[in-house]
Structure 1
């Protein structure tokens, strides 16, 4: 079954449930049966879900600004928005979370989080957690996976050759087809260890003469100045590693550097403890028991995966919290249904995000 057909079925059922007035009833019934924590996962919020000439991954556009504002209004009206520090305080006091507890998170640290999402959150009196890769905040460099998509979308090369993955593909003409090709390559790329991933991307940069350090206005990380402003404005800032590297794909000494280095930098730059981490990429192959132990030993008190679902907050789940991915295909009815009844309306876990 294709993504579009799965999306279509969920969307149709969501619209029917919304039109019939069933969502409040389903939400209340579920709340009586389950006492878990919803964590929404966003990446980018842009003016458009498909910007003209956008040579990056449109699947990382979680919502338009208009969609995001309506989504935040919806959860503020129907749920109990919280911050991670509040959740941790409940845990420390051995208290149950309020019914309908929900958290809002962003991964990676794109500058549109500051330009578009942050003003909306501030306007509505809400907070969110922004998980950032500190090395990219330091350098201003685009993220490696984003740059791979950009190179495939813009190269004049007729072929995509990646012998380490057995890839020998013709590069199509249209931007949409090139994005689809990039998605296929990303799926395969993430099977390699970290060194193999970096080597492949760096080789294509050289061969195609599209250097990452040139940057691009459509794919920039936030700055420390922006993050400090957001932190002072009530937002939470957490770790997404140093270089957005899949932690479980690293040797342990490098994994330690990614985890501890990001924590030290966040605390130095923001002047506040960093308690929460989001595993880059976040699928089942992005973290393991060794990764969890490194994160715990570094002093993080909670960690989020990108596995779809909700979690009961308990010792066994604190370092593998599930989240609910938000994507721009979701209209208001689908979003409301997904948050009300995640088991039915959320996407299944997808491994190609981060």
Structure 2
């Protein structure tokens, strides 16, 4: 049967007498697949599946090993949990045959968890998939859409018994850019750093800034602040870590586009809270943006944004210049020049 991932918890609570003989977890969202696997393992252990064996069905895998393990008694435990990883999602004719044999009359003392990447529509019509779906449950995990990510993050904080403001949720959503694993790790870090206080955008920004590794956001904030010497050190750190120049270009050009828009909207006047909110500028970055706008003229901002296109051409090989030299020039000018 097809089991929606969000119903797995309820399903497991209802299966106290025993689990289905096989569960197939597929998808390209590692965190969600991993957590579902952990839920199944925990329930299996509570039901007496004390022995666990992991198999990887790569090109050298002998499918008879799976058949042997499901048909023989365990030497160490009465119940056996088998995790079968199929990296390409295609067991082939032999695998299809063995899976069919294993699931014709499955033993209640053997549980099979199958892990696959995202399976296309044709695979879901295949014989082996239908066999698994009929004998047990199939769960397909999809990436959380960007529109649903704030609600997903809010839910994770609630599960951790942490209060968080709506602005902080929005800021964290922007920071993780759809990476659920990064979001989960950031939530765990915030839980350790601020165990007994509500999380605001200030804590989100501080948490990111406290990371000792050079990162893109630190570079952008330092350029806005006008600290050109530190910009050079951060750029060197990013380059030595093997950071893709495309990501640095993205971070700088994003802030330059914001500055150009705000410069056009405000003229020579001050920025309002509504403008900050519109452009998703939170906490300490408000002061950094104001400082950069006072330092950089409309003509200079436009020129810097145009030069970002030159970096893009250099990265793609169209322009025969080092993208790192161009990025350095843009960053230093954005910061106000060498002092």
User: Do both proteins adopt the same fold according to a TM-score greater than 0.5, normalized to the shorter chain?
Assistant: no
**Rg bigger for which structure?**
2
TM score, norm. by length of structure 1: 0.20
Answer 1 or 2: which has greater strand percent.
Answer: 1
TM score, norm. by length of structure 2: 0.21
Answer 1 or 2: which has greater helix percent.
Answer: 2
RCO higher in 1 or 2 (8 Å CA, sep ≥ 6)?
Answer: 1
